[in-house]
Structure 1
Amino acid sequence: MSDIPRRSTARTAKLASIPLGIAGRAAMGFGKKLAGADGDAIDAQLTTKAAEQLFSVLGELKGGAMKLGQALSVMEAAVPEEFAEPYREALTKLQAEAPPLPAKQVYRVLDQQLGTRWRERFADFDDTPTASASIGQVHRAVWSDGREVAVKVQYPGADEALRADLKTLSRFAGVFASTLAGTDVKPILDELSARTEEELDYRIEADNQRAFAKTFAGDPKFVVPRVVASAPKVVVTEWMTATPLSEIITRGTIEQRNTAGALLAEFHFVSPARAGLLHCDPHPGNFMLDDDGRLGIIDFGATAPMPNGLPPVLGRMVRLNLEERYDELTELLRDNGFVLPGRTVTDQEIADYLRPFTDPIRTESFHFTRAWLQKAAGTATDFSSARFRTARALNLPPEYLMIFRVLLGSVGICAQLDAYAPYMRILTQWLPGFTEDDTGLESLDGA
């Protein structure tokens, strides 16, 4: 790959090829069925071809296109098994890989960001990237003081491409949702758009990582590499040698899966409480398990400030749901903007809608599986179901969108891990508003 495709017309044409390709193949498949070909075999072939094209294009374009692919990959476990297999390899690959930027292009960025004598700051620099993702790629190097470091370099033109992609992808949201069954793409795109500018400035990412590293320095459960140097398009951090969660998902031991799942579930509740920040990019490429059993966390470009921790209203909702106090829960949902104005939902409808999602907090340790997630997601997205009709009356306030995406992403990874996690203990310890004696619930009256 010589450079990230920048021209808006060229990128739009690439993205437009996805729905056009899907439509063309569907028409051909329909013709073959009319001619007497096996319908199931044709459907399977169409699914495979759609997956190959979708994630080939998303990976090649990088930018917002690839970020969408990574966001979708988190919920791969929710896709029904008969559709999931063709997507799984492509989705997993998108979590950490993409065609690399040539060395001469990398040198040009380093010249601009660290100065033309940047090599003097390194004892060694590997020209071959160890990972390449949506807007940048990572090189392994040795800092001048002997420390092994990771050098994250932003692709030239990534800023233009990211903004253009997110606008274009929004027009195709319905097509992508139909291609990857059971996934609502529009909120993901809206959220990605809102955080674009922050992710493009690596100095902001470096500051976020410094805050996390300071909070979890010496922690027995979590480890965050320290920042060594930063610039707008380059960030240098300490190197961390550990096993990526993507590898544990495919061939990890039962102990590794359970340890990783439990720590991941806990991290997204602990960090707002302790660091006042929420890590907002939950996919397996950003987490790894150290040999000492700690969860390693990287990539802090997408981070939301939460100086007061997670909202106590959220904990109160979970508690009322757990105790089946649905009259109070329905009122709380209305008061805090979770029901669309003018819509009516009954206590029973809320109870029926939420019941499949409450399993993790009804036991001391819950087994997150693909089958469970597929069932929960499937009933919520069945157009003919009563739960789907209820969902159309519900609303997700903007201030909760990031939180729900992260927590759902965490659950999705736990399901991919096939892990047990002590969700009840985690919520009791870290979720404000969950315990009856919790204070700070001033917002419960809608104020």
Structure 2
Amino acid sequence: MTIGRGIDRPDEISTGSDTHISTTETAAALPVGRVVRNARIASIPVAFAGRRAIGYGKRALGRSAAEVNRDIRSRTAQHIFEVLGELKGCATKFGQLLAIYELALPSELAEPYRIALGRLQDSAPAMLPSTVHAVLAEQLGRDWRTNFLEFDDRRAAAASIGQVHRAVWHDGREVAVKIMYPGARESVLGDLDQLRRMSALLGVFVPGADVAALTDSVRAGILRELDYAAEAASQRAFADAYRDDPEFRVPDVVAQQGDVVISEWLDGTPVPHIIASGSQAERDRVGMAMVRFVLDGCTRTDLLYCDPHPGNFRVLPDGRLGVVDFGACCRWPPAGFDGLALDYCRAVFEGGPTDLEAASRRHGFVADDRSFDVDALFAAVLPCSEPLRHKTFQLTSPWLRRQVVRATRPKLSNVARQCTIPVPFTPFARSSLTIIGALAQLGTEGAYREEIVRSLPVLAEVFDRLDQQEPRPVDLATARERRARRITAS
């Protein structure tokens, strides 16, 4: 049975089409060969070396070192994101992660990467109309056009493994038609196999982590994003939970079949535009609404929205926040999450290094048989807790840059190397890092503590006691002295 107007339950539709996409069109849409993909990625350091060599010549001709280095950074950044955008799949996901790690660079060094990253998603090569039509025929049936009153062959948006077209469904509703790139699944699976083969090397950098288990967890999360049926189910759950909500709008799923998801269209101002030109009041309102959606969604749907980057939110004409792309969702919370949150809050806000060590070992963030510098961990965690020490706080890129630099400092003595993330919490880590990065870009000021307590009422007692205490400086001198004695003794 092909998709058509007589279908009452779109999740039951199927296709008997024998239409296939030609090899030429598939290859043009997305590079799938391992040799081709590896060669594209390998071209980045090769080209960088070439630019450095040319730079030496330019300096010999009188150009300043600063000018030459700035040109090299700009060209390298553009090359990186052009390659990642062309490869799509996991490569583009990697490019999105660079939005966090570029925060570790001084602003004058990070600027070329930030500009190129902003172009990454929109610059990905679009599928030709003939390829789009072939995909729709293969997934929805040869008569796919009968389901639409109108269909725009031009893509309206690009994603890491697909692109979106605007159309009008047969009942008159404007819809977004999300289509997976031909070959995307094969390319992502190949990238994941490569990730698994490389995972053993990561143990050198984070010897305290169960790298194999974490790699498998990341792999499972990415595989979920290839399952458009699961994505549609998650979106339906959120759409039902937020139906007629005064603050949020989740579009209904109109139909889903194979590698195509059709949802109601949302018109609005994308959050990246608010980042670029919005007022501070707009940035504060939008940022806090994003936080509320991620936290509140867990309670309403038992699902964690794992991909809260700015491109997935838009401000609708009626002022509500529209949310799209539910491919990265997972069941939440895992058993014991409330206890973990309470233990860590007590250790950080009411206790000290010894309490933090006990909590870290009890919840699996440090192995029982591994020694680690708990004073260094406590000193690293304290600044990260700052947004919750105040009733309101402004997250900024400079503040986040300091935390990222501290956590990713490539020193053997960096305590982060001795810690790990328990596998059940990897989705939470992804969601948290992504939303914090977005809030820093927005420069959002708001009552973060209040939002977290609303989601986790068990923490209210800790913060109530914190408010009743006299402000006191954190005694890091004692921690440093204790750490020095421990190093000397060892």
TM-score category by the smaller chain? 0.7 to 0.9
Higher mean C-alpha deviation, range 87-96 or range 301-310: 301-310
* 1:259 lines up with 2:318 in the alignment: no
Q: In the TM superposition, what whole-angstrom CA distance separates every residue of 1:217-249 from its partner, at most 9, and x where no partner exists? A: 122222110000001110000001111111111
Unmatched segments (≥5 aa) in structure 2:
1-24, 202-211, 464-490
* 1:229 lines up with 2:255 in the alignment: yes
Distance (whole Å) between structure 1 residues aligned to residue 167 and residue 367 of structure 2: 52
Distance (whole Å) between structure 1 residues aligned to residue 367 and residue 102 of structure 2: 29
- Residue 272 of structure 1 and its aligned partner are, at CA, apart by 1.4
Q: Which residue of 2 aligns with 1:397?
A: 422
**C-alpha RMSD over aligned residues:** 2.9
Q: Which residue of 2 aligns with 1:327?
A: 354
Q: Contact 1:74/1:413 (CA < 8 Å) preserved in 2? A: no
Specify the code of the residue in structure 1 equivalent to 2:379. Answer: D
Instruction: Go from structure 1 to structure 2 and tell me whether the alpha carbon gap of 1:342 and 1:95 turns closer, same or farther (over 3 Å shift).
Output: farther
Q: Contact 1:75/1:412 (CA < 8 Å) preserved in 2? A: no
Considering only CA atoms, is the larger Rg found in Structure 1 or Structure 2? Answer: 2
Q: Contact 2:93/2:160 (CA < 8 Å) preserved in 1? A: yes
Q: Which residue of 2 aligns with 1:364?
A: 391
1:152 aligned counterpart, secondary structure? strand
What are the within-5 Å matches in structure 2 for residues 266-277 of structure 1? Answer: 266-277=292-303
What are the within-5 Å matches in structure 2 for residues 107-126 of structure 1? Answer: 107-126=133-152
Q: Contact 1:76/1:84 (CA < 8 Å) preserved in 2? A: yes
Distance (whole Å) between structure 1 residues aligned to residue 249 and residue 346 of structure 2: 31
Specify the code of the residue in structure 2 equivalent to 1:365. Answer: T
Specify the code of the residue in structure 1 equivalent to 2:429. Answer: F
Q: Which residue of 1 aligns with 2:442?
A: 417
Q: Contact 2:85/2:121 (CA < 8 Å) preserved in 1? A: no
287, 292, 315: which one pairs with 2:318? 292
Q: In the TM superposition, what whole-angstrom CA distance separates every residue of 1:297-327 from its partner, at most 9, and x where no partner exists? A: 1111111111668821442113431334442
307, 319, 327: which one pairs with 1:281? 307
Q: Contact 1:365/1:423 (CA < 8 Å) preserved in 2? A: yes
Distance (whole Å) between structure 2 residues aligned to residue 319 and residue 104 of structure 1: 59
Q: Contact 2:166/2:174 (CA < 8 Å) preserved in 1? A: yes
1:137 aligned counterpart, secondary structure? strand
Identity between Structure 1 and Structure 2 (%): 40
2:154 aligned counterpart, secondary structure? coil
Q: In the TM superposition, what whole-angstrom CA distance separates every residue of 1:40-96 from its partner, at most 9, and x where no partner exists? A: 333322221221111000001112111211232355445420221101122122245
135, 154, 160: which one pairs with 2:180? 154
Q: Which residue of 2 aligns with 1:179?
A: none
- Residue 168 of structure 1 and its aligned partner are, at CA, apart by 4.1
Distance (whole Å) between structure 2 residues aligned to residue 342 and residue 129 of structure 1: 54
Specify the code of the residue in structure 2 equivalent to 1:402. Answer: P
Instruction: Go from structure 1 to structure 2 and tell me whether the alpha carbon gap of 1:108 and 1:337 turns closer, same or farther (over 3 Å shift).
Output: same
What are the within-5 Å matches in structure 2 for residues 175-186 of structure 1? Answer: none
Specify the code of the residue in structure 1 equivalent to 2:229. Answer: R
326, 332, 337: which one pairs with 2:364? 337
Unmatched segments (≥5 aa) in structure 1:
176-185, 439-447
Q: Which residue of 1 aligns with 2:345?
A: 318
Q: Which residue of 1 aligns with 2:29?
A: 3
Higher mean C-alpha deviation, range 42-51 or range 157-166: 42-51
Higher mean C-alpha deviation, range 13-22 or range 208-217: 13-22
Instruction: Go from structure 1 to structure 2 and tell me whether the alpha carbon gap of 1:10 and 1:267 turns closer, same or farther (over 3 Å shift).
Output: same
Distance (whole Å) between structure 2 residues aligned to residue 321 and residue 255 of structure 1: 31
2:29 aligned counterpart, secondary structure? coil
Q: What TM-score, normalized to structure 1?
A: 0.87
- Residue 420 of structure 1 and its aligned partner are, at CA, apart by 0.9
Q: Contact 1:77/1:416 (CA < 8 Å) preserved in 2? A: no
